[in-house]
Each structure stands twice: as C-alpha cells, then as structure tokens.
Amino acid sequence: MYEIKTAAVIGAGTMGLGIAGQLANAGIDVVLLDVPVEGPNRNAVTERAIERLLDRNQPGLLHKDLLRHITTGNIEDDMERISTVDWIAEAVVERLDVKKALYRQIDAVRKTGSIVSSNTSTIPISLLVADMPESFRKEFAITHFFNPVRYMRLLELVQGEDTRTGVVRCLEVFCDKKLGKGVVVCNDTPGFLGNRVGVYAIQKALHTAFDMGLAPEQADAVFGRPLGIPKTGVFGLYDLIGIDLMSDVVKSLESILPENDAFHAVAARIPVMDRMIDAGLVGNKGGKGGFYRTAGDGVGRETLDVDTFEYRDYAPCKPRAAVDAELSGDFTGLLGLDDAFGAYAWEVLSHTLCYAASLVPQVNESLVAIDDAMKLGYNWIRGPFEMIDIIGVDRFIARLESEGRDVPAFLRTAAGESFYRAKKKKLRYLESDGGFSKLRRAKGVKRFSEIRRTLEPVEENAAASFYELRHFVGLVEFHSKANALGPDSMRLLEAAVDYATDNLRGLVIHNDAQHFSCGADLATILGFVEAGDMVGLDAFLDHYQKTLQAMKYAPIPVVAAPSGLSMGGGFEVLLHTDKVIYHANSVTGLVESLVGVVPGGGGVKEMLYRWYEHEGDITKAAWKAFMNIGYGKTARSPLEARELAMFRDGVDTYIMNRDRLLRAATKAIDKLAPGYEAARRQPIAMPGRDAWTEMQTWLENAHQDGKLMPHDVTTGSQIAMIVTGGDIDAGTELSENDLLDLERKAFVTLGQTVETRDRIRFMLEHGTPLRN
C-alpha cells in the first residue's frame, strides 16, 4: 500500500521548483535538492530558486507562508535526507546519462516502498530504467507536469513494463486530489499525448502562416480564441514560450518520433526565425521582442515585418467571422470562409484534427485521453474529437475526400456517428472497435461541460442557463464572453432563484469556463454612460442588487463554486451566497475603482459588513473596506483572500482540483438544506461625517503626494461616502438597503463624468486599466 506524506524533488529548475511549490501548496513537506555550488553557500542554487516561487507576477505558492514546507539542500551533502520520503520526483536536465547516474544515487539511499518518478517529456521509460534493479523499476514511473505547474492542470502519467499497479494508482489519486491535476495515463510513446498533438498544432499553424504569406496578426486573429485556443495565437505563443526554447522542443520531438510521423512535415527550421534567435529576438523573456514587442510609449504594440526584418505598427485585422466565433463559441463559420482566413483556419485545424485521430489506438486507446490532454495541458476549450463532432464527422470526412486527402482509420470508424453521444443521461464515447463506452471519471470528479450534454435547460438565454441536476439541486451557468454579467445574466439568475425556491432544495452557481466571471458587462454600462441615460443605468444597478439580495435571502441555500477570475460584479455574486467553494487558484477582488466607478451590485455593502464582523469596530471596518476597494485589491488564492475578508473561515473552503468543485458544491447543499433559514443582518451604526472627512483628507494628501490621480480622488470620495454613510451623525444606523442606495447613487454620479467614460472605453479596447 503506497501513500505519499512527504516528498523530495531533485532539480530546482523551472519544472522542479514548480513541482516543489505545488507540493507545498498541498501541505506536503518537501526537500528540494540540486547541484552544489563551490563556496561558502553550497545550497545557493536551490535557495535562489526559492525566491522565484514568490514572484508577484506568477507566484508558485498559494501563500508565502507555505514556504515553510520546503527545505533546501544539494545532491552531494544532503542525499540522505531523501531516505525517509515517500515520493522522489526527478526534474533534472533532459539527458539520459545525467538521469541514470542520479537514479543510482537515489536507489542507494531511498527506502523500500518509496516511489521514484521522472518529469521527462521526451525520454521513454524503458530507457530511463534500463540496467536498474527490478526493485527500482517496480516503483518507478513518469510524472510529466506542464509549466507553470501551479496553473496547468495536466499531468501525464506513464507506467513502465515493471511498474506496480499500486504505484500508478497512488500517484494518480495523489496528483488528482492533493495536487489538483487532471491525470491522463499515457502509453510509453514519444511525446506522450499533450506535446505530441499540441506542438504539432503550433508548428502546423506556424508553417502554414509562412507558406501563405500571412502576417502574424492575420494568423493570430484565427489561431486563437475564435477556434477555442488560448488568445496568444501561434506567434504570440512562440513569443511567450521563447522562440529559442520552442525551437529546441521541436528539435527534440523530431529526433524521437517515428520517421513516418506527420510531425516531420512541420518541423523544418524557418530561416527568418534562426535570424531572430541570432539577433536576440527570442520573445518576451529576452527584452528585445520577438514577433511582437511593446512600442516605445509602453502601451502600444509593434510587429516584426519578416520581409524587411524591421518592426512596424501592430495592425489588428480580425475578420467578422472570427469575432462571431469568439462570441458564440461556434468556429465552423470560419472554416467556410472563401478567403485567406478561411483557408488558413481549415488548413491548420483539419490537419491537426486528422493528426489527433491518427493516434488512436496505436498511441493511446482512448480519444478521451487525447481530448483531456489538449484541454488540460494546452488550455483548449474543446479537444480534437469534440471539435470534429461540432463540425460533423460525415461533413468533415466528405471535405477531406473532396480534397483527395487521406482519412485516418479511426475517423472512418466514426462515419455515420459522432465521437461522443448522450444516451440515457450518460455520456458515451467511441472506442477504436466502433463500440461506445460510458465516460467514467474518478469518484468525485464532475465536469459540468460533460454533464450539460445529457441535460435540457429549465431556462436559458444568450448569457446564462439554468439546469436541474439530480436530487433536486439547480445549477446556474454563466456563458457570455468572459462571463460578463449584464441584464440577461441577472434575469436568468432571478428566474432560477424563483424556480429553485418553489421546486428545489438548493442552488449551485458554477461553470467550467476559464473564468467564473470577469465582472459586470462594461459594454452595457458604457452604453448607458455614452447615451447619458442615468435612469437606465440606475435601473440596471437596481435590478442587479435586488437579484443578488433575493438570492441571498432565498429560503434555500445557494453555493458558489468558482474558478479562475471572479472579479468586480462576478465577485459580488459570490459575496451574496451562503458558501463559496473556491478552486485553489481562484482570483478575487472588487476592482471597479480601476475603471472609475464603485462596486454597484452590493459589493461595498458586503465588504463593510464582513470587515465589521472581523474587526468589531465600525470605523476600523470602514477604513479597511475603503482602502481595499479604493485600491482595487485582489487575492490570487483563497489564502490571500482570507486576509482581505473575502474568504470566511468556517464557511468558505477551497479545493485543489477544479474538476471536483461541482461535486463538493452539491454535497454542501446536502448539508445546508435540512432546516435551512437565511440569516438576516441588522442595520449598522455608521462612522458618520468625521470618518468621511478624514478619508477625504487622506485622498487629497495622497493626490498631493503624487500617489493618486484626480479621478482616483473622485472615485475614492464616493467609496468613502458609502462606507461611512457620508454627511450623517456617527452612530446613525443604515440598513442593507440604505447602503445599496448609496452604492447606486455613487455609481450613477461617477457615470456622469468624462473620466469614467474614458476609463471604461480604454478597458474595453485594451483589456487593461487606463493609467492617467
């Protein structure tokens, strides 16, 4: 019986450090080792590495305090420290000789029953364990994580011929529940699954763009969100990863894949990219730029003209069909365009989908494993076989045949069918022999994107849908662009609360999108602002508030299960639920001040109450709310959210694997529903005008010191008015409804300013706040 309670990671590079950080996030004590350094501090490599875990831009830890779980050392002085651990993860350089020498060191000191694994992405397990004792081979596996380890959900698990089933099962359960990974069991084949399909897709997109003479902007306008692929596009992704590093990845795969593999057709080096590497134009990390770079003004963007080898102004050129595909989630219209964009989309996607289909069953027996690898490892919204289903299997085959192209055998097996189908409220998938099997997940793993296929909505509109799950539990799913919440979102939520109140035991708010909700729909708000329709703006806010209040005080429990971003108006939804079950990487905050407004859906009111409950002093609570909302502070994990009163101890909770959110939420309903009664809040005795004046003075001083812009002072004054009550006597009691009225009044006041209009416009156009 294998069990992991302690661990060691050898190799403190990007991947090893990430693995150690995620173990610490799970509360596992871990020893991090690397090579020694000559001099007084022989652990300098690992100690310097630890500093990177605390990088504010991409922290490897949920909270800095979790660093206590990591101890550092080196492989010459400290190997005996791994003798007691349960799992030893190797993440050293991709050289077989280095790894094998290390394994001999490990085997000399490790305890019997400890698991050893490699993070290799290219070397077969058969080569890694050749010449090693049978006792070592039985307890060895490949655990291939993806970078950054904290955020990327895929773990590829590879079993050797001699690996014990118990070892694989232990790693599978531990990495799922403790490390939050979607585990895909792979055969011992070159590139496994994620990189084999993912790098092929990237290379096909790259080479096709060059072959067709497309500019980077043109290619990235298609090979990105319109196809359900991350927004970077292929050229942006090369810049993000590093053009030199990506070239090495391609070279590595080319060296290990079979000679007849289609990958070789897209692996050739491109001369202009070699020239870029020689010139140091290797992407974001190099500071000089890549295919794109930041313009001299620090705001704009420039593109490398590959013909002249000079940078020019960035020229966005997304076709209407690409915009429609991004908004609707239906990419099929792009494939039918009779222009360069349509030709590019079809050429890249059709070859990628055929390549994925060609891997079944020789490389992996299950199409689900390939779909999972692309969704979890490359952040595709849909896997290759899900995309073929959307196109239509027969339609896809017919177009391939019309072009005289080969049709993979497994694709022909699906003719007249689809790769997935719902039957008797169960989702099934096609096997290589033509039969269908139930799609089974680990106990407790529930993906609503899969469950949805077996359900009919009780009610739906363009922005949201409402479903009835088993055991009289309802579920509201937001599905607008970025899950921005507008009038339709609130109308659907209002209807769901009404229906659930009469018919169900509880309500869950959850979705499988990358982000729970990026906030209230700024386009809707800008429409009111530009039209000068303050009556309409007030009505929108009033309905938003009343919907969330009705949800908060409904006679049934409401549980939210968010992942990704829950910002602004999206976070206001969470603030009005009985319990929030966060994914460990959830990002939360009230950031409205950054676009020149205040939270208008009850966010200020809720944070004031929470800080009051936390501090026990209304003036201290008002200052806490004022500062956090004014600065638009965000938390990058539930542990950070706790410090900002965004996470309630004893009420809210978090879990590492986002695929377990839905099951946890329905179980929470089971516990809350019996005898449930919403707790009513009493009015608050407000701090009043003295505190209001002090806050205004603080704002003016901060402005004089150059810390705030004039409109920051205007916005901050409105926040101060809400949290203190404004020009009222200290001790005057205000109810929740009174505070909501103040929020609306402040929002509408700010909505009449040119500065707020400009800030909202800038955010919509650039996706980042205006710093003026």
As given in the structure block, the two tokens for residue 425 are: 């409220």
Distance, CA of 94 to CA of 105 (rounded, Å) = 17
The residues that bridge with 438 in the sheet, in sequence order, are 428
Residue type, 402: S
Closest among 501, 441, 528, 492 to 747, alpha carbons compared:
528
pLDDT of amino acid 425: 87
Q: What is the rounded average pLDDT of the residues 129-158?
A: 96
Distance, CA of 772 to CA of 74 (rounded, Å) = 49
Sign of CA dihedral 5, 638, 661, 522: negative
Task: Using the predicted structure, report yes or no on whether residue 158 has a pLDDT greater than 70.
Answer: yes
- Token match 């602002």: residue? 529
Contact between 596 and 761 under an 8 Å Cβ cutoff? The reply is no
Residue 210 sits at the vertex; the CA angle it makes with 207 and 214, to the nearest 5 degrees, is: 125
pLDDT band for position 254 (50/70/90)? Answer: very high
Q: What is the rounded average pLDDT of the residues 368-396?
A: 97
CA distances from 721 to 142, 530, 613, 759 (A): 58, 25, 20, 22
Sheet holding 154-159, edge to edge: 70-74, 29-34, 6-10, 87-90, 115-118, 140-145, 154-159, 182-186
Sign of CA dihedral 697, 698, 703, 704: positive
pLDDT of amino acid 365: 93
Q: What is the rounded average pLDDT of the residues 393-400?
A: 98
pLDDT of amino acid 91: 97
Distance, CA of 380 to CA of 371 (rounded, Å) = 9
Q: Which residues contact 160 (CB under 8 A, 6 or more apart)?
A: 125, 126, 129, 137, 140, 141, 188
Distance, CA of 143 to CA of 157 (rounded, Å) = 5
- Helices marked H in 705-735: 710-724
Strands 115-118, 634-635: parallel, antiparallel or unpaired by DSSP?
A: unpaired
CA 643 to chain centre: 22
Q: What is the DSSP letter of 220?
A: H
What is the enclosing helix (H) or strand (E) of 762? helix 754-766
Sign of CA dihedral 475, 481, 484, 490: negative
What is the enclosing helix (H) or strand (E) of 377? helix 367-377
What is the enclosing helix (H) or strand (E) of 393? helix 393-402
CA distances from 493 to 413, 451, 573, 654 (A): 42, 20, 10, 24
Closest among 677, 647, 502 to 583, alpha carbons compared:
647
CA distances from 16 to 446, 589, 673 (A): 30, 31, 44
pLDDT of amino acid 89: 98
pLDDT tens for 674-713 read 999 999 999 999 999 999 999 999 999 999 999 999 999 9
* Max CA distance (Å), the chain: 82
Q: How many CB atoms lie within 10 A of CB 707?
A: 10
Closest among 370, 39, 339 to 195, alpha carbons compared:
370
What is the enclosing helix (H) or strand (E) of 583? strand 579-583
Q: What is the dihedral of CA 581, 584, 585, 587, to 10 degrees?
A: 40
Task: Using the predicted structure, report yes or no on whether residue 105 has a pLDDT greater than 60.
Answer: yes
Closest among 346, 353, 408 to 385, alpha carbons compared:
353
> What's the mean per-residue pLDDT of the chain?
96
> How much is the pTM?
0.94
What is the enclosing helix (H) or strand (E) of 301? strand 301-305
The residues that bridge with 653 in the sheet, in sequence order, are 581
Distance, CA of 474 to CA of 497 (rounded, Å) = 9
- Per DSSP, the three-state class of 423 is strand
pLDDT tens for 420-477 read 999 988 999 999 999 999 999 999 999 999 999 999 999 999 999 999 999 999 999 9
Strands 301-305, 29-34: parallel, antiparallel or unpaired by DSSP?
A: unpaired
pLDDT of amino acid 490: 98
CA distances from 224 to 229, 259, 319, 402, 618 (A): 5, 30, 13, 27, 48
pLDDT tens for 587-634 read 999 999 999 999 999 999 999 999 999 999 999 999 999 999 999 999
Closest among 525, 522, 549 to 537, alpha carbons compared:
525
Phi and psi dihedrals of 503, rounded to 5?
Answer: -130, -15
pLDDT tens for 164-182 read 999 999 999 999 999 999 9
pLDDT tens for 550-571 read 999 999 999 999 999 999 999 9
pLDDT band for position 387 (50/70/90)? Answer: very high
Task: Using the predicted structure, report yes or no on whether residue 297 has a pLDDT greater than 80.
Answer: no
Q: What is the rounded average pLDDT of the residues 567-592?
A: 98
Distance, CA of 501 to CA of 551 (rounded, Å) = 10
CA distances from 418 to 58, 403, 410, 429, 663 (A): 40, 22, 11, 8, 28
pLDDT of amino acid 772: 56
